[in-house]
Amino acid sequence: LKKLNSKSLLSLAVSENGKIATGGTGKKLYVSKNNNYINIDNDIIFDVFNFESTLTDVIFINEKIICVRLLSNQIWYCDLESKNKVLLYSKKLKRKERLEVAGQAKKHHEKLTFVDNKKSIFFVSKDNLVEYNLLKKKTTEINFENLENNESIEDIEYNSKKHIIITTSLGNIIYY
């Protein structure tokens, strides 16, 4: 990959069958064409998707679909077979908010989480949890009014008990 990219790679995802996807400050998504037979002695061949902003997170939905989060607060859906990409979510941020997002990205808190049984992607936008349902093509913003003034959402994970678990900057854990 070093032949194609000399910029920092901020996110890495590996599919169930071993495909590699990565991207970062170079504003490109690299996806290996090969899967579980990748040999470190051979060069890996990559497909490339171009974007207009730094990639902060990459996740495989399945072997044919990837979702990407950009520093510009956009979520993109990338079809690896057709090579098409579709903008799923975009919310303009004020300058101060963009600086906060950039700070979060540096701390690796710009995480996408895919919940298979809901067919939804979850992510944090400012201080809201956002759900994008892939089947319904619908976005829902969940605001947590009980957060304190200086409290912000830090990280999210999904557990097998069908909960999104959220951590906050003041040490709270929220089950959703």
Mean pLDDT of the region 113-142:
86
Q: Is 80 helix (H, G, I), strand (E, B) or coil?
A: coil
Q: Is 149 helix (H, G, I), strand (E, B) or coil?
A: coil
CA dihedral 90, 91, 92, 98 (to 10 degrees): -100
**The whole model's pTM is what?**
0.79
Mean pLDDT of the region 158-172:
83
Q: What are phi and psi of 138, to 5 degrees?
A: -130, 140
**pLDDT value, residue 42:** 64
- Tell me the percentage of the chain whose pLDDT exceeds 90: 33
Return the number of other C-beta atoms located less than 10 Å from residue 43's C-beta: 9
Q: What is the mean pLDDT of the chain?
A: 82
> CA 29, 31, 37 angle in degrees (round to 5)?
160
CA dihedral 47, 51, 53, 57 (to 10 degrees): -50
Mean pLDDT of the region 80-85:
95
**pLDDT value, residue 108:** 41
Separation between Cα atoms, residue 19 and residue 59, nearest integer Å: 11
